[in-house]
Amino acid sequence: MAHNPVKRLYLASSFNTVAGKVGKDLVHDWKFKPKNKRAVFIDTAAEPEEGDKQWLKDDRKSLENLGFQVSDFTLTDKKFGEVKQVLEEMDVIFVSGGNTFYLLEKIQLTGTAELFNKQVNIGKIYIGSSAGSVVAGPDIAPVKRYDAESKAQKLHGYNGLGLVDFVVLPHWGSVDFKKVYMDFRLKDNYNSKNKLILLADNQYVAVKENWYSIRAV
């Protein structure tokens, strides 16, 4: 009997906070043991961010702690074929946090949106953290006025990867993001255009095909 691949995603607000639970889910839900599996760590979105980026280091370390063999990769200045080769070699595609507009711009410039879709649809596991979770949805416009769109001068439109039919708004409930939400993010998105999930840092969305559940640690 032919094996039908299942679309599997884990979309987090802050991956390192929920990594342990995601690892258990992989084993329980899919009998997928991270040990010795290959994960590509795409840190493109973090490139324009300032500071020591400890959150990025923590996310990467969390992948390693689960047992993955982690390879670093950026979409910046890459050609389609280079991205295709890397994604095809990996068992897990991890897309980090950072600037969502910058990330989408690089996806557009490499022409790889459909490539991400194809890899996920044939069964590769997609894990997103913050911006990596936002870009998995159909539209990144809901995070405007926080992520600096000025960092993405060649961006054409706001269509995300469309791996899921909802938009993740990360860091809900975080003290650091309270002003962002209270001042404009809630007001800007008080409409019926997108299906929204306000995701706290201790939560993530587990996706199986067109079904999903919000889980917490």
Could you identify the residue written with the tokens 């050609």? 79
Q: pLDDT-based confidence at 150, cuts 50/70/90?
A: confident
pLDDT category at 3 given cuts 50, 70, 90 is low
Domain boundaries, the chain: 8-216
The pLDDT of residue 48 is 96
The model's pTM is 0.95
Under DSSP, the state recorded for 143 is G
How far is residue 1's CA from residue 118's CA, in Å, rounded to a whole number?
22
Out of 3.20.20.80, 3.40.50.300, 3.40.640.10, 3.40.50.880, the CATH code matching 8-216 is: 3.40.50.880
* Burial letters 116-152, b for 16+ CB under 10 A, else e: beebbeeebbbbbbbbbbbbbbbbbbbbeebbebebb
pLDDT digits (tens, 9 = 90+) for 151-174: 999 999 999 999 999 999 999 999
With 50 as the cut, is the pLDDT of residue 1 above it?
Answer: no
Q: What percent of the chain has pLDDT over 90?
A: 83
Residue 197 binned pLDDT confidence (cut-offs 50, 70, 90): very high
Q: 2 falls in which pLDDT band (50, 70, 90)?
A: very low
- Sign (positive or negative) of CA dihedral 111, 115, 116, 118: positive
